[in-house]
A and B are shown apart, each in its own frame.
Chain A
Amino acid sequence: MNERMIYAKILFAITLCAGVTVAIMQGFIAIADAKNQGVFARTSLAREALPQIVKEPHDLVIFYGSSMTRAGFSPRLFDRKLNEMGKNVKSFNYGFGGLNPYFQDFLSRRIKDEFVANDKKLKLAMIEFNPFQTTQTRWQGAKPVVDSFLSMLASDEELFEIAKQDITRGTLLFNIRYIRNNISSEIITSSFGRGIFPPYRWRQFEDTEEVQQARREIGRKLGEFFEKDYPDLDYQDWMYEWQGAGTIPEERSEETLIAFEEYYDLNQTDAQMKNDRLSRIRSADIEELNFEPLLVESFIQIVKNFQQFSEKVEVIMLPRNTKWITNTPEGKKRLALAINQIEEATGITIRDHQDLDIIDPTMFSDTTHLARYRGDVPYTNYLIEQYANDL
């Protein structure tokens, strides 16, 4: 065999091995439907909706934030009431659980790109500052998903900038984007890891068996009612027709609304709430609030991004469940410093909605999120009161 032939054979073997290997991996990712799971799906659907959003003829409003925004803001209710006041408004819920400010910064750049490219402006941007999404603990917990989110949300130019600083990392991110369908090996490992070694859940407190049974039963019923109320719905994590949020009471049957009341009562037992609090302390350092400087800087960048294509930008701290979550004195000091840093950097005064009179602890579904119907409706009404004049 001549020299070129043997090297051609080696090259063929290398590319064939790599090609088949990549095909197997892509097949696995497709079968596992990894791209359409949880926050990945919601984020990519919300991003895909942007070209349609900028073409809307209305004054546009986006509420941008965490899962607290997702749970607490009802755009359809917001729009309906404002439309009744004669305002031509269309709003969208851009709240994402698990998307910390570092990732949100990249998503906000993509939103900005779309608006700027279409010469469109947001009438109002409401941006949630969520202290416990900005902690070191939260950042540590996000490590396995950093590469995937970055490859999904950064532009080619931004990835190229990373590659200029660190060619190995840059190539890895391009590889994740174009060869691995945004699914990094760490995500797959962490998913397998959770399967083999389920994470320790803070189940220090237990409800009685009757309560647990009743909760399972009502959960099952709610599932059935959902099917009944929306028989033809092809549910996705971020739906344009729902403007990125969930259901509204007007669409639900009487029995569903009663069932929800029962569900919240069963879900707000002492044991449930204590367990949830411990879980938040462990996963988000919710009471001590040791901030991660990178995340605070990223948050400032989010605000600056929105300032570039919005007529008005508001930074808001959403209602908190003060019955269960209280910051330590040190946590309060750190929070005050972070707020000060954000306000100085952006020139915007943060609106503190943490302790609103109209919100009480029964309006939460757990220690942090406003409950659907019980909580999101009064809070959205409050936002309408606050911002109707600006729209």
Chain B
Amino acid sequence: MIFNTPIFFWFFLIFMIFYGLVFVKQKAKVYLVIVASLVFYGAWNYAFIPLLVGSAVADYFIAQAIGNSDSQQHKKRWVTLSLVINLGILATFKYADFVLVSVADLLSVFGYHASIDTLGWVLPVGISFYTFQSLSYTIDVYRGDMKPRKGLLEFVAALSFFPQLVAGPILRARHILPQMHAISLPKWDAVKHGFLLITVGLLKKTGADLLAIPAQKAFEAHENLSTLEIWTGVLAFAGQIYGDFSGYTDMAIGIALLLGFSIPLNFRVPYFAVSPVDFWRRWHISLSSWLKDYLYISLGGNRNNHRTRNVFITMLLGGLWHGAAWTFVAWGAFHGLIITLTHYLAGLKVFAAFNSGNNKLITMVKWAATFYLILIGWVFFRATDITSAIQILSAMHSFTNDAELGRHAMAIFIMTSVWILLVHIMDFYVIKGADKLEKKPWLFWFLIILIQSICIMVGEPSNEFIYFQF
């Protein structure tokens, strides 16, 4: 059940009737959120509901146990158990087959042709999101950053809260739990902003589905494409993944606002970033901050001259978080490399001018270099395997490509570029100046209806969000 499908509309409409008009009391609302979230999750596969609920219940009691433990050693044991459970679930469902196949491949390099049976298990939707979210709670309690809260139902409701359940943002318990314990009445201004975000998200998702066409062509049939078409495909994928993921997140935040919840921003116009470090402050903020708080800092952060190592490990695991494939490892490693390089260059005197002042030309150069590197990274992310990633990268930089330019190649390139720019301008405006629009009711509702009409009229067959697979 994804947000831009008719079934979600009907589900949400029925849910809202009960949530707003029937179940008025706090406790009843929590029950309703749990039931609705499990129905929402079960629409993909009911078999995985016990896994979701089980990991929530386990972490709830582990957090209580940590809170009740007097010795640091006991606390450590409990948090280790939480890590084993959550990472164990991830390892089993997401990474076991990847490891088995990789071992078999490695053995074959040395001449041993091992016949290894993979598990072939279906990956539970949103597993990477809710395990990280649940884990953050036990770690926060272990670190003393928050006290364990009583209320199993509220915890299950918070973890399974359907707007953000399957594709984030990855909420921190300290952010969502207090809201679930005292569900507040939505304010009309927040509701209007919710409508705006849902509409903007819908538009971005619709655009993303259309961009999938040139992207797919470039990544799955690149052999006969011209250099311009390959670039268009890579650019289209950059637009697709941003529209797909940030569109989903916008809708999630918007839906939560209608229910009286606030969910933090997950994207801040990421393709306007002027360095790889800046990019990670703008892209999938909830994941990058999670990795920073729970992995990078645990590894030692900037201390002991291990920053390079720690950045690299964090980005490598961040890449692997996205999927069990070497392409994601390569993507993470590439970002680790360019972040490290950025740190290194920033320390050089020759680049001092780059780090100071507001010279527009320098900013443009930094933006162009960053955007170029991000595009290179997406090639690893989207390619079916490392070999085809290298082929695509080589085709992108080939000046001797003799493939005939497609009839509409230039038009599609321009339209793709313009769309990505427009989406970023729109996002910038939504972040900075949405309140001005929301104060003009006629214009506001006219735009909402106009954009929604366009989105339901056109669209490509798309039953998934890219990030669901992570």
Measured CB to CB, the residues of A under 8 A from B are 1, 3-4, 6-11, 13-15, 17-18, 20-22, 24-25, 28, 143-144, 147, 167-169, 171-172, 174-175, 179, 185-186, 188-189, 192, 196-197, 200
Contact, CB under 8 Å: A8 / B43: no
Residues of chain A within 8 A (CB-CB) of B19 are 7
In the complex, how many angstroms separate the beta carbon of A31 from the nearest chain B beta carbon?
12
Contact, CB under 8 Å: A200 / B407: yes
Which one of B9, B210, B453, B460 contacts A25 once the chains associate, using CB atoms below 8 Å?
Answer: B453
Bound: A387/B170 CA distance, A: 71
Contact A168:B458 (CB < 8 A) given known A7-B19, A10-B186, A20-B449: no
Across the A-B interface, give the 5 residue pairs with the lowest CB-CB distance, nearest first: A7-B20, A175-B6, A171-B7, A185-B459, A24-B453
Per-position binary interface string of chain B over residues 122-140, scored 1 when its CB falls under 8 Å from any chain A CB and 0 otherwise: 0000000000000000000
In the complex, how many angstroms separate the beta carbon of B434 from the nearest chain A beta carbon?
17
Contact, CB under 8 Å: B459 / A189: yes
Residues of chain B within 8 A (CB-CB) of A7 are 16, 19-21
Contact, CB under 8 Å: A172 / B6: yes
Chain A residue at minimum C-beta to C-beta distance from B407? A200
Bound: A25/B17 CA distance, A: 25
19 A-B contact pairs sorted by A residue (CB < 8 Å): A1-B188, A4-B20, A7-B19, A7-B20, A7-B21, A8-B21, A10-B16, A17-B452, A21-B452, A21-B456, A28-B457, A167-B43, A168-B43, A175-B6, A185-B456, A186-B459, A186-B460, A189-B459, A192-B458
Bound: A7/B191 CA distance, A: 10
In the complex, how many angstroms separate the beta carbon of B188 from the nearest chain A beta carbon?
7
Contact, CB under 8 Å: B195 / A18: no
Contact A21:B449 (CB < 8 A) given known A167-B7, A168-B43, A185-B457: yes
Bound: A8/B20 CA distance, A: 7
Residues of chain B within 8 A (CB-CB) of A25 are 453, 456-457
Contact, CB under 8 Å: A14 / B13: yes
Bound: A171/B11 CA distance, A: 11
In the complex, how many angstroms separate the beta carbon of B310 from the nearest chain A beta carbon?
42
User: Counting CB contacts under 8 A, is B10 at the interface?
Assistant: yes
Contact A13:B5 (CB < 8 A) given known A20-B449, A21-B449, A188-B457: no
Contact A168:B449 (CB < 8 A) given known A6-B186, A6-B188, A197-B411: no
In the complex, how many angstroms separate the beta carbon of B233 from the nearest chain A beta carbon?
15
Chain B residue at minimum C-beta to C-beta distance from A2? B185
Bound: A290/B16 CA distance, A: 50
Bound: A86/B283 CA distance, A: 80
Residues of chain B within 8 A (CB-CB) of A171 are 5-7, 10
User: Counting CB contacts under 8 A, is B436 at the interface?
Assistant: no
Residue of B5, B6, B19, B185 most packed against chain A (CB within 10 A): B6
Chain B residue at minimum C-beta to C-beta distance from A25? B457
Which one of B12, B13, B16, B449 contacts A24 once the chains associate, using CB atoms below 8 Å?
Answer: B449
Chain A residue at minimum C-beta to C-beta distance from B185? A3
Which one of A17, A167, A189 contacts B460 once the chains associate, using CB atoms below 8 Å?
Answer: A189
Residues of chain B within 8 A (CB-CB) of A144 are 461
User: Counting CB contacts under 8 A, is B412 at the interface?
Assistant: yes
Contact, CB under 8 Å: B24 / A3: yes
User: Counting CB contacts under 8 A, is B463 at the interface?
Assistant: yes
Contact, CB under 8 Å: B191 / A10: yes
Residue of B7, B17, B445 most packed against chain A (CB within 10 A): B7
B1-55 interface (Cβ within 8 A of A): 1-2, 5-7, 9-10, 12-13, 16-17, 19-21, 24, 43
In the complex, how many angstroms separate the beta carbon of A199 from the nearest chain B beta carbon?
9
In the complex, how many angstroms separate the beta carbon of A187 from the nearest chain B beta carbon?
10
Bound: A200/B5 CA distance, A: 32
Contact, CB under 8 Å: A10 / B20: yes
Residue of A6, A9, A188 most packed against chain B (CB within 10 A): A6
Residues of chain B within 8 A (CB-CB) of A200 are 407
Chain A residue at minimum C-beta to C-beta distance from B206? A185
User: Counting CB contacts under 8 A, is B408 at the interface?
Assistant: yes
In the complex, how many angstroms separate the beta carbon of A252 from the nearest chain B beta carbon?
40
Contact, CB under 8 Å: B185 / A11: no
Per-position binary interface string of chain B over residues 241-260, scored 1 when its CB falls under 8 Å from any chain A CB and 0 otherwise: 00000000000000000100
In the complex, how many angstroms separate the beta carbon of B27 from the nearest chain A beta carbon?
15
User: Counting CB contacts under 8 A, is B448 at the interface?
Assistant: yes
Bound: A3/B22 CA distance, A: 11
Contact, CB under 8 Å: B210 / A189: yes
Bound: A24/B24 CA distance, A: 35
Residues of chain B within 8 A (CB-CB) of A1 are 188
Residues of chain A within 8 A (CB-CB) of B186 are 6, 10
Residue of A7, A14, A144 most packed against chain B (CB within 10 A): A7
Which one of B13, B408, B453, B458 contacts A197 once the chains associate, using CB atoms below 8 Å?
Answer: B408
Bound: A336/B20 CA distance, A: 64
In the complex, how many angstroms separate the beta carbon of A228 from the nearest chain B beta carbon?
40
Bound: A1/B187 CA distance, A: 10
Which one of A14, A20, A147, A189 contacts B16 once the chains associate, using CB atoms below 8 Å?
Answer: A14
Contact, CB under 8 Å: B407 / A11: no
Chain A residue at minimum C-beta to C-beta distance from B24? A3
Contact, CB under 8 Å: B449 / A172: no
Residues of chain A within 8 A (CB-CB) of B12 are 14
Residue of A172, A174, A189 most packed against chain B (CB within 10 A): A189
Residues of chain A within 8 A (CB-CB) of B13 are 11, 14-15
Residues of chain B within 8 A (CB-CB) of A186 are 459-461
Chain B residue at minimum C-beta to C-beta distance from A19? B449
Contact A10:B411 (CB < 8 A) given known A171-B7, A185-B459: no
Contact A13:B449 (CB < 8 A) given known A168-B5, A185-B459: no
